[in-house]
Each structure stands twice: as C-alpha cells, then as structure tokens.
Structure 1
Amino acid sequence: MASTDIATQELKNPIDVTEYLFRRLREVGIRSVHGVPGDYNLAALDYLPGCDLNWVGNCNELNAGYAADGYARVNGISAIVTTFGVGELSALNAIAGSYSEFVPVVHIVGQPTTQSQRDGMLLHHTLGNGDFDVFNKMSSAISCYVARLNDPHDAATLIDSAIRECWIRSRPVYITLPTDIVAAKVNGDRLKTPIDLSLPKNDPEKEDYVVDVVLKYLHAAKNPIILVDACAIRHRVLEEVQDLVEKSGLPTFVTPMGKGAINETHKNFGGVYAGNGSNPGVSEAVEASDLILSIGAIKSDFNTTGFTYRIGQLNTIDFHSTYVRVRYSEYPDTNMKGVLRKVVQRMKSLTPGPIPPLTNRLSDGERASTDQTITHNWLWPIVGQWLREKDVIITETGTANFGIWDTRFPANVTAISQVLWGSIGYSMGACQGAALAAKEQKNRRTILFIGDGSIQLTVQELSTILRNKLNPIVFVICNEGYTIERYIHGWDAKYNDIQPWDYANIPKAFGAKENYQGYRIKTRDELNKLFADQEFNSSDKLRLVELYMPRDDAPAGLKLTAEAAAKRNG
C-alpha cells in the first residue's frame, strides 16, 4: 500500500479510474449506459450519477448488448457494463453483431481483484480451473481493441486508446475493470485534453494520386452512378457523400444496409439496389452503368439478394475506410473520407444519366383492390406515406427488413436493421437503445417492425422501455411464426411454428398502466385510420400494434434471398 500511496501523492490531480473512464464516455457523447448489475461491477456503477450518466438497467445482458448497438447507431457510440464471466458471455452474441456490422460499442467488464486473478482463486463465475484470461480471449476476437486495466499507472492511457479506437474503427472495444482498480488513482489533468477522435491523415501525395486516378475514370465515363452502402454511415462520410451527390448530379442508389444514408427525397435518388431484389427499374439503371462509385460496400448475401449483383469490378471504384480500389488496382492505407472530399473539390461538371422514378404510391392494382387483407405489397408503400422526417425506423431481419426496401423515406430518417449478423430478436433490444438515444436528441419518433417469432426472444425489453419512460411505436407482424425460415426450409415443419401470444397485453404484465396503449389491426381500413390518428402519432406512451398478415405472404426480396440460401445450404 505504501508504494501506491506514494504514487498517488505524485499525481497533481488524482482521480479514481472509474470516474476517469465514465467522464471520458460522457466526453464522446454517451449519456446513458446499458447493462446488468453484478457483484464485480457494482462499485463501478456507483460512479455513474456523479459523472452525469444515466443507468438504463436491462433485463439481461444479451438484450443490453442489442440495446447498446441500437443506441450507438443513433447516438454515434455507446457503452455497456457487464459482470465477469456469466454477464459478459451473455452479451457476446450482441457484441459480435456490432463487430460484424461496424457499430462502436464500449464493453466494460467488472472483474475480480487483480490479486485473486494472479492467485487463480476458485471464485464464482469462473470455470473453476484458475484461468481468468479465457473470457478475455473470447472477446478479443470480436473487439478491435482490448484494454486490461490491471495497473493504474497505464489505465488512463489504455482508456483513451480504447475509446479512440472504438470511434475511429467503428467497432466494439473491451475494457476490463477489476474491483481493486475501481478506486485506484490516475492523473485527472489528462481530462483537460479531449481524446483525439480525428482520422489518421492520408499520405498527401498518395491521396492526390488516388484522387487523380478516380477523376480520370469518372470524367471518361458515359453513364456513371453512385451506390452507397452501410460503411458510408458507420465510418461517417455522409457529409462527403451528400456533397458528391449534390455536385455531381449523378443517379444515386443505396443498398438495403445503406438505407438512410441518402436523403431519399433528393432528385438524384433512384432507389434500392439489391441485385435481383431491386425495385423496378433500379437493376437496369445500375447494371447498365459503365462506372459505379461504390461507397462503403458490404456485399453480403442478404444485402445482395443472394449474391445476385451483376456489376463487374472493371466498372467499379470501391471506397472504404482503409483502402480505395479502382477497378483492379488497390490503394491500401488510404481512407475514403479524404479521397471523397478531394474528388468533390476537383470534379468537373458531369452529364448525369436518367434516374428511375420512385414513389410510395400504390400500384394501380392495389389502389383499385377492395381486398382488406394487409399484404407486404400494400403495407410498405403505405408506411412510406406515414413516416415523418427524422424518424428512427427499425426492422427485424425477416419480412420487415426485406419489406422496407420498397419504402421511400422522408429526409433525415435513420434506418436500423441487422442485415449481416441477422440475430433473431435483435431489433426489440435495439429499439430500446435507439428510442433512448432519440429521446436524448428530442423530437424523434422511434418505430419498430418485428415479427411475432422474433419478439418472443427479447420481449423483456418492453419492460425496460416502460421503466425508462420511452415511447416507441412497436408493430408486431402476426403471421404465425418464422416466415423467413419457412421460405428457406420446412414450410409446414413444427420447428417454424410458435405459440401465439397476446402481444397487446404483454406490457400490462410488465406493469404498464396509463403509459401504454395496445391495438389489434386486421384490415387495411383499420391501419389507415390508425395512421391518421393524431393521438397515436404524437403520444408520449409506448404503443404496441398487433398487425395481422397472412402466413404465406412475404416481400419479393425475401423470397429470392431465401431461395438462394436454400440452394447454398443444400
């Protein structure tokens, strides 16, 4: 203890490690921390109020991880606190999803004391073999940085590095906080200097060369287009992309994972490109292009309708966070942000090609129909007419995610869907986190579309929503089970069936009273009336809508993707 006291005395402005950590979280924009209490993190949680951070308190760690992911997608970055072993492992599926989809989440794990770990003590929440590194090793593969705060001398440096890496690389980081380090002292004067969150600069000569190569092909192209994907959002180049769209006047498309990256009311916007699952006219426009400026692409199976892209690398320039690829030539260690900015600055005038018409109007057949059945062909254009600017819309990876391709958004909508990782039930937890971030940003609605099968995995987060006084609108698509799985395999198999729940009354079991309203909608007229209801649209209550749809109905994109998945699995 004497050496520690001497070290503390040498600090000009000593501050506890945990206070330092939490104040850094607040500095980068985090206002609420998700997680579940456990005995190895309890002392650390005591510091939250003093650091002006709100504790959310989720029903379990998996849901907390999903919620942290949703919060980060709206807020920019998030944090989750779990306890050693049992807590952190429960969160790992969610953290893996954040890693897969480039979502910045700071995962803080309360651990036993450093002495207990060195002695290999037979403690609860361990494997009973004295190995205290095993869980750290599990997390290291799905984190872009690991900070083990075992020594206060380097704790502040490790914290700053972890948060910077989380932001710059837009992926989860893992921070361990042993109980005997919680109140250890670090130099508080470091807080006077904000963490440097700026991207590393490209080599100027190399960047200029890449820009010249891009412009050479762009100015020579007869029919260039822009295609924007998820990593344009995750790596924060939307300002550069918007300027490129505006100055070039080029037809601009998004992928399913890129929904929300572009103002879809802009005159240049042409729709969603997803190979065979594209909106009418989109695949023809994209695939006829002689140069595609592809920004932040993630060419996964669900993002391409089963790998049905028909665009060749010879006609593509790929912009990414760590490299640019021009046709078959790759330029490593060159981030797209700097390159895109200079392309915009130096670009000459271009002659844009035609842009496919895009609207939320129903087809003539749907408008003339007297059928009251709510189908996907009818629903998603109607949803587009109902949405408002700045809405946050979340769709589960199932019928909802594929259906939203056919919805043209108003301006400044944030779209959340876990297309690549695709963990069932993700969207319910993500809704809680997103709704909290939207509340902190004020005047933003949060809307969720989730299947009746998916919500059964994570329905407890309705309780967290109620406790935190959040007011999302939750649509539960009641179509008798796992529709996307049925289309892949086992149409009438028992394993794709679920127990029907009384969804509209579940929040009441969670203690909802005047802060909740439930609905059951079975016809088109009922849904149109609900969408027109001002109280429904502006309420400060949680609203849950049972939305009944046929079991065998699904968006075209889902059917095509499921067919491709079935062939690969076979």
Structure 2
Amino acid sequence: MSTPTAALQGEIHRLQLQVNSLRTEKGAEQITVGNYILARLEQLRVTSIFGVPGDFNLGFLDLVEDHPTIDWIGNCNELNAAYAADGYARVKEHSIGVITTTFGVGELSAINGIAGAFSEMVPVLHLVGVPSTSQQATKPMLHHTLGDGRYDAYVQAAKQFTFSQAFLSDKNHAAAEIDRVLIDCITVARPVYIALPTDLVHQKISSESLRIPLTRSPPHNNPQVESFVLEQIVTLFEAAQGDAVVLVDACAIRHDVREELNDFLRKTGFPVYAAPMGKTAVDENYERYGGIYLGTISRPDIKEKVESAKLVLSVGSLLSDFNTGNFSYNIPTTRTIEVRNYPILTAPDLHSTHTRVQYASFPGIGMKQFIPKLTERLTSYHENASEITVPKFVTDVPKEENGDITHTWFWPRIAKFLKPKDVIVTETGTSNFGIQDVALPEKSVLVSQILWGSIGWSVGSLLGAAIAAREVGLGRAILFVGDGSIQLTVQELSVMLRLDVKPIIFLLNNSGYTIERYIHGKTRKYNDISNWTWTSLFKVLGDPEEQLSRTYTVRNKDELSSLLEDTTFASADRIQLVEIIMDPLDAPRALKVQAELSGKTNSYDAVLNPTTATA
C-alpha cells in the first residue's frame, strides 16, 4: 500500500474507532477486557510478553498463559523485563514490546527501563495490574501502597516516562482507552501505560472495535505547507548544484522510513553517512555509504566529506552528546561563517513530525510522506551526485606484533566473523564505541542504547532481541558486553537457557568500568569490580551439566581467531559465552576522545585543577 493511501486508510480507521467509542454495540460478541487487550496485541504481531508475576496481575497472566499465540516470558526482575521488551520492539518491526508488572513495587522497578525506551523512542506497552476499582475508591492501606492513600502516585510517576496513560476504571470506556494509548504507542514510537484493575480483567465488553485495525500511519501532511517546504528544499539543492550528502540518524529507524530513505538514496545517488544511532539504517555495504559521522571524533576523511558538502540533508536526527561527538557537529547554518572554498548551504532536517529548513521549522510535515515526494523532485541529480566520491567504509585488521587482544585489532577482526541478518547488541561503553568503526553485513540489525546509556541494559535487551530475531527469521543474536555491565543484569542468562535462545556473548573482561576510567578516575577503586568465574555462569544459572551451553576464555589474538574460525562455534547451536581478557586501560579510539570531552564537560578537571579553568 502506498504511503498516501495508507495515511488515508489510517484516518478512516481513526474516525471509525471514535464513532464506536460513542455508542454501545447491541448484539456484538462479548469479550473480557483482558482478552480485548490480548486481541489488540495479537493484531500488533506481539507474540511474547515480558514481566514478573505479582498478586495484582495474576488474573491477567492466566489469560496470557492460556492464549494460543502469545507466550509469557517470565523474567528475573522487572528492570530486566523492561530492557527485554525494549530489545524485542527494536528488532521486531511493526510490533511493540510489552511488559506486565504489578502495582507499585513492580512498576517502579521497571521504570528505568521504560524511561530508556522513552528516551530512545522505542514503542513499549507497560501494563500494570492494580487494585480493584472499589479499592481505588476507598483507599485502604494495602500492601505495595505508600501507606498514605495516594493510589495515583505511581501513574503520576509514569506520566514522566510514557507518552500517554490509561487508568481503566469503567468497562464501558475500556476499549476506547486501550485503543487510544496503543495507537499512540505505534504512531509516536514511545512507551505507553495502562493500569488494569483486578476486577476489570474479566468484565465483558463489546468486541466490535476489534474489527477496525489500529492505524500506525501518521496523519496527512498539510498539502499547502508541504508544497512550500518541498520548493524551499529543491531550491537549496539547485543552489548546491547537487553537491550534497545525506546524514541518517535514529529516527529514520524508529519511525519506519528506511524503505522510503533507501529508495531516495538509490534514485538520487547522493552519498550517505550515519550518526552512531543511525547505524544500519542504510546497508553498510552500499557503495554510496561512507561510514559514521561523529563530529570531531569522526575519521578525518568522513569528517571532511560531510563538513565540506554544500548541503547536508539530515534525516531523523537525534542530537545527543554521545551521538554527535559531544555536540561537535560542524554543519553550519546560513548565519555561520566558515572558511571554505565555496559557500555552504544550510541542512534541511527531515523528522518524524516536523521539517526544518535553515532556521524555519514546519510542524506537522512528517518525513514518511514527504521523502517520496522529495525523491521525485531530486532524481535528476543522480548523475551529478554519483560523481561525488565516497570514502570506502572498511577497516582492515591491523598487524600488531603483540599477541594481546586490543580494541584496535578486536573490532575489525570481529567484523569478519559477522554474517548477514545477524542481530548485534552492544553495551554502553567500549562496545558501543568499538562497533562504530566497522562495517556490518547487509540486513544486519544493530541494537544499542547510546542516548539513555543504562549500564546492563544490553543483557536484558539481548533476551528480547533474540526472541524477536527467532520470530521474524533473522540470524544469530550476538552480544558485546563488559564484565562490569553484565553483573547488573546477569540473571537473564537463566531465562535464555530456559527458553532455548542461543546467543553468542562476547564478554570483554577488562577488570571494571573502562569507560568510567577514561571519563574520570583511571586508578580509583570505585571503577573496580569483583572478578567472577565467568565460565561457570551457566552451571549456576540453569545448566549444571553444560548440555545447553558452552563457555570459553581467550587471552590472545591466536586463541580468539581460532575460535572465530571454528564452524561449530560460529553455527550458534547453543548459548555460548566467550570471556576475552583485555587490558583495563585499552579502549576504542572514539571512546577515548569522547571520554576526554565528557570529562571536560563535567568540569572534573576544573575542580581538581582550578588554575587551568577558563571562563
């Protein structure tokens, strides 16, 4: 279905749901509120629900367990469940992640994971089992309450980290409220919250609205404004005479415009680069793809190509510190004077809900409908654009005399191990930065949390990502995580064993928090951790006879290369953990530079050395 047609159909569905919410359907088949929620989730292609049981959600969990197509994934704690729902949603496109917790203690445990999904624009439903409607009214001093009668305290907290909320209190409005927040979830790509009282789970309501699908198509762009914006951008391209590059970022992935974006790139021929959070939005083996632009941290050839272009078309930008080289983008506006050999034009910025041209912002002009129209107008530049050279994005494995495993050697070597359709999860720290400098195979998916950066997120996310990858027919699930990070969420390895998912976990044992050492306190003991017996983890967590798992320790380049070339290991026929011994003070180049910039931003140097501080 074409984008305009889908948008029109979406508007029709929205109006039909509004009409249904204003009337009571007589004679329609009845369904319980709990099963109505599950029916909607099934329509959204959800087949796994994460969470932890608690007395206020057990009635709903009965329905989940009895459902023919939706599985219950019991997690070790609510925080890990939220991370898993996040990873699931990132990998399973056109679906959402779902976490179910209990009132108060459960939902507050999950809130960090929900906040991360909000920060990084991941569609997650947080479904909370809460006390009955009568208890909500009389407010007895129940367990899991604050003891002061504030039964709304937790939903007030949820409002800070979710896009919309529904506290179901009346069965007659339940369907409309459920639909409202789910539509928000799939159209704005943010978490939403539903509170389900125990006595409403089995209340019967009409199933009529289930006949109308929830629409994920954004509303139509205003045609007059869209036409004006289109002319403005075309004029800028004409002035640039085709000397332009495209910079893609996170929102191109989150807001489902990769198909439109890739069609634009192939029909226009413009060079394309990505911000770290936009990595794998474009096939990294595409001949017009030049690599990662990260401001001053970029490779010199990439930095020169992006910053010297007369025009940069930014698609889906998310300008956080770790995504921009500590805000060091050097893509000027028309009011910025730069020393160049030719004039520089301002970057149009296409986003999910607005388009910015120079200093003017146009709300409501979303990129999904706009990009195809821009493609039609700019295909004539293909010949000129194709003549712009693009640095080949490849990193050779360096020849190092020392046998120690260094980050400079490790990441290019790992790139040769990766396969098309692999799902690659990287943890905050060395892994997030190391993976940026290597090209990933076609149709691979990178799952990383660069903006929120919660330590340990990747382990829970790996569980959800691995389940989603299995459901949609992707390849191996591979995690790169440090020894410090994995200690926060290691329990979820037991769930992976129970569910027979088979990720490969590369555990970088560098004796603590290397990213923190580089930001501040290289020799401070607060950046040290206890060294676990990593190769015994699976025995403790559910595989005492090691029938379901394998573990390895590698200490030098030869040992790691031999393992990577082992076909049994590469086949990922069971869950595997590889402990990789690395120097505590070795780190990827980009991390070293970013950490130095972050340390200065945090003013630690100024505090410790006041004589070096500048006004």
Q: How far apart are the structure 2 equivalents of 1:167 and 1:22?
A: 16
Q: How far apart are the structure 2 equivalents of 1:111 and 1:341?
A: 45
* TM-score normalised by L of structure 1: 0.96
Q: Deviations over 1:487-546 (max 9, x none)?
A: 111111110000001112111101213110001011111111111111111132100000
1:3 alignment counterpart: none
2:511 alignment counterpart: 480
* Native 8 Å contact 2:504 2:572 kept in 1: no
Q: How does 1:507-546 map to 2 (within 5 A)?
A: 507-512=538-543, 513-546=546-579
1:14 alignment counterpart: 30
Q: Name which of 151, 156, 159 aligns with 1:132.
A: 151
2:268 alignment counterpart: 248
State whether structure 2 residue 103 is matched by structure 1 residue 81. Answer: no
Q: Percent identity?
A: 46
**Aligned to 1:56, what secondary structure does the other structure show?**
strand
Q: How does 1:13-52 map to 2 (within 5 A)?
A: 13-48=29-64, 49-52=66-69
**Aligned to 2:362, what secondary structure does the other structure show?**
strand
Q: Name which of 362, 375, 392 aligns with 1:357.
A: 392
Q: How far apart are the structure 2 equivalents of 1:252 and 1:59?
A: 42
State whether structure 2 residue 330 is matched by structure 1 residue 310. Answer: yes
Residue type of the partner of 1:253? Y
| Offset of residue 349 of structure 1 | 2.0
Q: How far apart are the structure 2 equivalents of 1:435 and 1:360?
A: 27
* Native 8 Å contact 1:11 1:186 kept in 2: no
Moved more, 20-29 or 343-352: 343-352
Q: How far apart are the structure 2 equivalents of 1:183 and 1:348?
A: 56
Q: Name which of 525, 532, 537 aligns with 1:494.
A: 525
Residue type of the partner of 1:16? T
2:111 alignment counterpart: 92
State whether structure 2 residue 348 is matched by structure 1 residue 331. Answer: no
Q: Deviations over 1:463-491 (max 9, x none)?
A: 11111110000011000100010111111
**Aligned to 2:251, what secondary structure does the other structure show?**
helix
1:344 alignment counterpart: 375
* TM-score normalised by L of structure 2: 0.89
RMSD: 1.3
Give aligned pairs, total: 560
State whether structure 2 residue 194 is matched by structure 1 residue 169. Answer: no
Q: How does 1:282-431 map to 2 (within 5 A)?
A: 282-314=302-334, 315-350=346-381, 351-352=384-385, 353-362=388-397, 366-367=398-399, 369-431=400-462
**Aligned to 2:530, what secondary structure does the other structure show?**
coil
Residue type of the partner of 1:487? Y
State whether structure 2 residue 488 is matched by structure 1 residue 457. Answer: yes
Q: How far apart are the structure 2 equivalents of 1:111 and 1:529?
A: 53
Moved more, 456-465 or 348-357: 348-357
| Offset of residue 147 of structure 1 | 1.2
* Native 8 Å contact 1:152 1:185 kept in 2: yes
Q: Deviations over 1:338-387 (max 9, x none)?
A: 1111001222422122101221322xxx22x3321111111111111111
Q: How does 1:232-243 map to 2 (within 5 A)?
A: 232-243=252-263
Q: 1:506 to 1:426 in 2, by over 3 A?
A: same
2:228 alignment counterpart: 209
**Aligned to 2:63, what secondary structure does the other structure show?**
coil
Q: Deviations over 1:211-251 (max 9, x none)?
A: 12111112321420000000100011101110111011111
Residue type of the partner of 2:391? P
1:70 alignment counterpart: 87
* Native 8 Å contact 1:8 1:14 kept in 2: no
Q: Name which of 594, 597, 614 aligns with 1:564.
A: 597
Q: Name which of 292, 315, 322 aligns with 1:272.
A: 292
State whether structure 2 residue 256 is matched by structure 1 residue 225. Answer: no
* Native 8 Å contact 1:19 1:51 kept in 2: no
Moved more, 515-524 or 439-448: 439-448
Moved more, 418-427 or 313-322: 313-322
| Offset of residue 10 of structure 1 | 4.9
**Aligned to 1:453, what secondary structure does the other structure show?**
helix
Q: Deviations over 1:116-147 (max 9, x none)?
A: 01101100000001111000000011111101
Residue type of the partner of 2:392? P
* Native 8 Å contact 2:117 2:124 kept in 1: yes
**Aligned to 2:550, what secondary structure does the other structure show?**
strand
Q: How far apart are the structure 2 equivalents of 1:134 and 1:163?
A: 22
Q: Deviations over 1:158-212 (max 9, x none)?
A: 1111111100000000001000000011111221221122211111222122112
Residue type of the partner of 1:71? Y
* Native 8 Å contact 1:504 1:518 kept in 2: yes
Residue type of the partner of 1:72? A
* Native 8 Å contact 2:503 2:575 kept in 1: yes
* Native 8 Å contact 2:248 2:278 kept in 1: yes
1:260 alignment counterpart: 280
Q: How does 1:169-188 map to 2 (within 5 A)?
A: 169-188=188-207
* Native 8 Å contact 1:210 1:339 kept in 2: no
**Aligned to 2:141, what secondary structure does the other structure show?**
coil
Q: How far apart are the structure 2 equivalents of 1:46 and 1:8?
A: 28
* Native 8 Å contact 1:450 1:476 kept in 2: yes
Q: Name which of 434, 448, 460 aligns with 2:479.
A: 448
**Aligned to 2:200, what secondary structure does the other structure show?**
coil
Structure 2 stretches lacking a partner, 5+ long = 1-22, 335-345, 604-615
* Native 8 Å contact 2:476 2:572 kept in 1: no
| Offset of residue 148 of structure 1 | 1.3
* Native 8 Å contact 2:51 2:74 kept in 1: yes
Residue type of the partner of 2:582? M
* Native 8 Å contact 1:360 1:385 kept in 2: no
Q: 1:510 to 1:171 in 2, by over 3 A?
A: same
**Aligned to 1:80, what secondary structure does the other structure show?**
strand
Q: How far apart are the structure 2 equivalents of 1:338 and 1:50?
A: 37
| Offset of residue 277 of structure 1 | 1.7
**Aligned to 1:386, what secondary structure does the other structure show?**
coil
Which 4+ stretches in 1 moved above 4 angstroms?
7-11
Q: How far apart are the structure 2 equivalents of 1:62 and 1:45?
A: 18
Moved more, 453-462 or 301-310: 301-310
* Native 8 Å contact 2:25 2:206 kept in 1: no
Q: How far apart are the structure 2 equivalents of 1:11 and 1:80?
A: 33
* Native 8 Å contact 1:264 1:409 kept in 2: yes
Q: Name which of 40, 65, 74 aligns with 1:57.
A: 74
Q: 1:11 to 1:112 in 2, by over 3 A?
A: farther
